[in-house]
Chains A and B, each alone.
Chain A
Amino acid sequence: MISQVFILSSKGDYLIYKDFRGEAGKDSISVFYEMVTALSGDQPPVVMVTFRTHKDLHFIHVKQGGLYWVASTKVNPSPFTIIEFLNRLAALTKDYCGSLSEKSVRMNFALIYELLDEMVDYGYIQTTSTDILKNFIQTEAVSSKPFSLFDLSNVGLFGAETQQSKVAPSAAATRPIMSGRGEQGGKNEIFVDVIERLSVVIGSNGMLMKADIEGEIRVKCYLPSCSEMRIGLNEEFSIGKSQLRGYGAAVHVDECSFHQAVKLDEFDSFRILKVCPSQGEQTVMQYQLCDNLPCAPPFRLFPTLERDYGNRLLIYLKLRCDLPPKSSALNVSITVPVPKGSLSLSQELSSPDQSAELQPKNKAILWEIPRFPGGAQLSALFKVEVPGLSSASLLEVGPVSMSFELPKYTCTGLQIRFLRLTPTQPGLSQRWVRYVTHSDSYTIRI
């Protein structure tokens, strides 16, 4: 039972406010904002208030697109439900407005009010399905023109490097696509994305300590009507430990789950998913693979540490990319923690498009490689000036963490064999299949 829903900008501006039950006053917004900003560090998504005026009012919030999506409630609901609902609200907003940002929410506030009105009545969730909602939503989205100065999201205020922008996985697979209702409407497109997130820990001896893959097949559909889509996966696709299929290189996952609308009658024999996609974005299938990477981990690091002339630390890094030669990694950034008090850095890098800098605030070296072809090996030498360097300080170097993006590549080897729409859409429809692997967390110990 939701009492209020509101959306705040990161600066605390009210973007959307809807009170469903009239239990709490409007000042709860400012109470919430004060609490969120008062707490240091990252704030867990559930905040409580016990002011006399707001006795037992609970706020639950998620942060998406730089905005706070907040629900307040007087009862003790399921946290999963509320969090999933807020995520769904954000996803629907993204579907309807094209992108998720303060600007797009500001421009489309009438539409979001309309959505909320249909989604929730008297604090009870009524429906969140795009198929049902599209019959009721009348307001047209105002599409905010994508800002074209290349990608500004990677540059912080006044060009400063922000940790967030470096770490955030690149947005290539989730790039906002023009809304089907906008002026570019009528373009019948359907995108099927296979997105994998890789989290890897490699021990100091080069052993693979942990390798998990979380993957999903996401469909973004702009077709106004589509009766059925058949997605064919690799025939050798197997689930669970025991089940093995075919003779070829099997594609194996530990667990997988499907969207409830997916029909699986042909899945067992032919590995075909049948789904009637509704407009907008939805995750058709999710899968996980733990501790059993079918391919070599994409990067290997060979570090050498040395003390030189008392106060100088030499870090020699050799990085090898074990992807097949046709693939390559993009936006590779490597963070090497260095001892506290490191003063200056001089580096020798192997090509001019790479960059490296010392970030004293994070006591780390950030080494960036815009493009890293498969099979290649790059090396870098960092000389760090550390006053009072002791042999114990070497312990502070590491673990190295990397973030990168592997386009057109899946670590599990999952492929989409075909994509068929029935009945066949008249010529205009375009079908896209995209693959991408992100680094969720890629850590190499030294």
Chain B
Amino acid sequence: MPYFGSDETVKELKRALSNPNVQSDRLRYRNYVLRVIRSMTQGLDVSSLFMDMVKASATVDIVQKKLVYLYMCNYASHKPDLALLAINTLRKDCADPNPMIRGLALRNMCNFRMPGITEYIQQPILTGLRDKASYVRRVAVLGCAKMHGLQPGTEIDASVVNELYALLRDPDPVVMVNCLRALEEILKDEGGVVINKPIAHHLLNRLKDVDSWAQCEVLTFLLRYHPRSDNELFDILSLLDDFLHSSHAHVTAATLRLFLQLAAALPAVQADAVLRVRGPLLATCGAQSRELRFAGLCHVQQILRSQPEQYGAHYKRFFCGYSEPSYIKFRKMEILVELVNDENVALVLEELRSYCTDVSPELAQAAITAIGRIGRTYSEPCLDILTGLLALKQEHITSAVVQTFRDLVWLCPQNVPAVCHALDGSEETIQDSEGKQALLWLLGVHGAEISSAPYVLEIYIDGLKAELSPTVKLELLTATVRLFLSRPAETQDMLGRLLHYCIAEESNMCVRDRALLYYRLLQCGVQETKKVLAGPKSDPSMAVLTGRLQEPIGQWASIFNTLEPLCGAESWQVTASGPESDILAQRTEGDAIPVHRTEEDVLAGTAEEGLSGVSHTDEELMLSAGPHLSHEAFERLWLELGVSHCEALGFPRPHSAPETLQAALQLVKIQTLAFSRGETLPWKAYVYTHSCGTLILAELLQKDSEDSEGSLVVSVKQQSEREQAVQGFLTVLRRALHSLSMEN
């Protein structure tokens, strides 16, 4: 910090410190020393006073001594030659009869970060290791580490290491822990301090005597110990048991981490340990210190990755407090989304609903997004709430709701009719570009089901001159062309106007190029355009089905009780791998939003690439659930018709629950009629669908898993032969089954 008049201050201090009158008056002397330290803290360079401060160190006043040492440690590296003058005083103090003075002098001498100091401190440190007073031994032990840190690369002094290992048996607990710390630093290149069986048992037995900070550290060191036998393992676990319930959050967390690590091969023990820290962890989530609360919440999030059901009954603990800062509220909402279940969904939604009208727009939007996430599982109540929010006609709320609708429809296509119905009139309220993009996407993709779609688009096209955001214009172009494909009569005129404006008057190159692309595409014919633009209307990977998977505890056990859960995985990776990967991380982040990706995919390459890339998707669109087929009718048809196509899919059947399989196929409009239960072999399933005006029946058969690597064989029968329909059906089926297999 620049400091005006600093020269005068330093001069004045120098004058005062060298004034014999001041030096003889203890209090005045100390006050001037204090002023030096104060200036130093404020960022003023007072290194020129070093000489005077060295003189001031020769005093009986301990307070003054401490202050001068603080000063010296700070400037020793700038003035090594002058610092050597102070060494004598310090070495004399190291032999003082008062252990406090001895420790103080030794600690500060070791803190001088300057080359060549080691030869002066080596002897006092070695003496200090054998001092009677534990206070001095503590300092001396860490002094060994400091000495090593000052001359990296030099040979490790084996006698010091041995002495430190011996000091692990020191009666003073802090000396013991300091020995671990010092050895860890000295032996860093060899993999740190060795925790063998005797040491591990010694540490475990001393664990009760040391204070909570040291407990944490010892528990962390024990992470690298592997018990030899199960008996030993269980002895250790029962010893650690009490610490799971420590009143200190940091001890609980460190113990749990060790527990999870030791019991890595015993999932039941792990799960039990996680269950037992629930109480302390929930208490941390309600701690008075907000920062501690935040850390607790972040770790609960990790546990939820494996065991969401454990916290389901405690959902009320995660209701946001009125006065909590928003970073805590955001985390709590994320947790609420994770632990929602059939019993608490109504109350959780009611709570989230009350956040949607919060003063802070960010918080309101986060609440709306959270409701949308719950809507993937519990569509109906969530859609009711979201539709109700539209009536408020507030910019940020409507925008967030429409964006949530877009994501919901993408992932759960069964909500399309409800969403299309709700959208009416929202265009008047939306002002921001993200909201507009979402609305336009919905209008383009599902325009056939929204009666007012052309009129809304017309409003946007008429107001195009005033629109600033190029992304909105791009989205408008795509939406209009898409709507033109489904409702040509109503849209043709405005599409012409839009293309004309964008090609003739638009100054943004991207928008202009996109308009030109569409113009030329339309010249190639409507069918061609359709092939490019009619991408899938819902997430083809069916992430919804695979989304709520419970990970094994081992996935997060290694990052438990580290900083990583607090920063989120993405930012952590960015940090860990340096600034170069920033761009990469942003890339993947962009990919996380599925809607944009398909757009980009289609439009990234040339038109030809687009054609080949999406050619199969328009067949998929032709699949329809059609009229329901009874078992008898199916059986009769199956016997009548001959097999038109038979193919091995090349992967085994998905081992998911039958309900999941049925739901997944339903999503892609394939009806399941019957399938064998459980793990019986051969496994069979009968499915049917309608496509291109024909009925397709299929049998999925898996024979013994031994011989053909368990590949699934599909036999297809058709009412009237249509090769195209079969190919489309197979593509859809393959993708659906494949995504289910990935899940397992």
Contact = CB atoms under 8 A, between A and B. Distances in A.
Interface in A1-35: 13-17, 19, 21-22, 26
B391 A290 contact: no
B213 A128 contact: yes
A1 to B, nearest CB: 8
Contacts of B248: 84, 260
B139 A390 contact: no
B322 A212 contact: no
Contacts of A259: 247
A267 to B, nearest CB: 14
Contacts, number: 227
B394 A81 contact: no
Contacts of B247: 257-260, 286
Nearest to A6: B41
Given A260-B212, A395-B392, A403 B357 contact: no
A147 interface: no
Contact of A288 (B62, B174, B286, B324): B286
Contacts of A122: 142, 145-146, 181
B204 to A, nearest CB: 17
B579 A52 contact: yes
A48 B571 CA distance: 9
Interface stretch (B290-298, B623-631, B710-718): B290-298
Given A41-B327, A110-B37, A395-B392, A80 B292 contact: yes
A364 B283 contact: no
Nearest to A26: B43
B297 to A, nearest CB: 10
Contact of A363 (B283, B325, B359): B359
A332 B250 CA distance: 36
B70 interface: yes
A413 interface: no
B175 to A, nearest CB: 10
Nearest to B292: A83
A46 B566 contact: yes
A396 interface: yes
Nearest to A397: B357
Interface stretch (A176-184, A228-236, A436-444): A436-444
B279 A255 contact: yes
A176 to B, nearest CB: 17
B429 to A, nearest CB: 11
Contacts of B534: none
Nearest to B358: A337
B347 to A, nearest CB: 7
Interface in A76-109: 76-81, 83-87, 109
A136 to B, nearest CB: 6
Contact of A81 (B38, B145, B250): B250
A398 B292 contact: no
B70 A62 contact: no
B250 A201 contact: no
B1 A84 contact: no
Interface in A389-446: 390, 392-393, 395-396, 398-399, 401, 403, 440-443, 445
A79 B566 contact: yes
Interface in B436-461: none
Interface string A25-55: 0100000000000000111111010101001
B317 A110 contact: no
A109 B38 contact: yes
Contacts of B240: none
Contact of A84 (B292, B314, B351, B565): B292
Interface stretch (A113-121, A318-326, A348-356, A374-382): A113-121
B292 A212 contact: no
B561 A257 contact: no
Contacts of A58: 563
Contacts of A109: 37-38, 41
B67 interface: yes
B interface SS class: helix
B578 A113 contact: no
A6 to B, nearest CB: 9
Given A58-B563, A76-B562, A110-B34, A396 B288 contact: no
A197 interface: yes
B43 A14 contact: yes
Given A79-B562, A209-B347, A258-B247, A55 B578 contact: yes
B47 to A, nearest CB: 13
Interface string B235-275: 00000000001111110011000000000000000000000
B650 interface: no
Interface residues of A, number: 92
B197 interface: no
A78 B216 contact: yes
A41 B362 CA distance: 10
A76 B564 contact: yes
A308 interface: no
Among A78, A139, A199, chain B packs the most CB atoms within 10 A around the CB of A78
A80 B566 contact: no
Nearest to A12: B1
A87 B561 contact: no
Given A138-B62, A209-B316, A42 B41 contact: no
A288 B283 CA distance: 8
B359 A364 contact: yes
Contacts of A41: 325-327, 360, 362
A125 interface: yes
A335 B358 CA distance: 12
Among A42, A81, A117, A337, chain B packs the most CB atoms within 10 A around the CB of A81
B316 A83 contact: no
A61 B323 CA distance: 20
A383 interface: no
A396 B392 contact: yes
Interface in B354-372: 354, 357, 359-360, 362
B63 interface: yes
A44 B294 contact: yes
A119 B388 CA distance: 56
B683 interface: no
A337 B211 contact: no
Contact of B213 (A16, A62, A79, A85): A85
B359 A337 contact: yes
Contacts of A281: none
B354 A110 contact: no
Contact of B283 (A114, A255, A401, A403): A255
B517 interface: no
B512 interface: no
B42 interface: yes
A136 B62 CA distance: 10
B28 to A, nearest CB: 15
Contact of B138 (A13, A52, A121): A121
A187 interface: no
Nearest 4 pairs of A and B residues by beta carbon: A441-B321, A42-B325, A80-B250, A392-B391
Given A44-B566, A56-B576, A135-B100, 6 more contacts: A139-B63, A257-B247, A260-B212, A260-B246, A340-B394, A440-B321
Interface of A: 13-17, 19, 21-22, 26, 41-46, 48, 50, 52, 55-56, 58, 60-63, 76-81, 83-87, 109-110, 113-114, 117, 121-122, 124-129, 135-136, 138-139, 167-168, 197, 199, 201, 203, 209-210, 212, 214, 255, 257-260, 286, 288, 290-291, 335, 337, 340, 362-364, 390, 392-393, 395-396, 398-399, 401, 403, 440-443, 445
10 contacts: A16-B41, A42-B326, A138-B63, A209-B347, A286-B247, A286-B283, A399-B354, A440-B321, A443-B322, A443-B354
Interface of B: 1, 34, 37-38, 41-43, 62-63, 66-67, 70, 74, 77, 100, 107, 113, 138-139, 142, 145-146, 149, 174, 177-178, 181, 211-214, 216-217, 220, 245-250, 253-254, 279-280, 282-284, 286, 288-292, 294-295, 298, 314, 316-317, 319-327, 347, 350-351, 354, 357, 359-360, 362, 388, 391-394, 561-567, 571-572, 574-576, 578-579
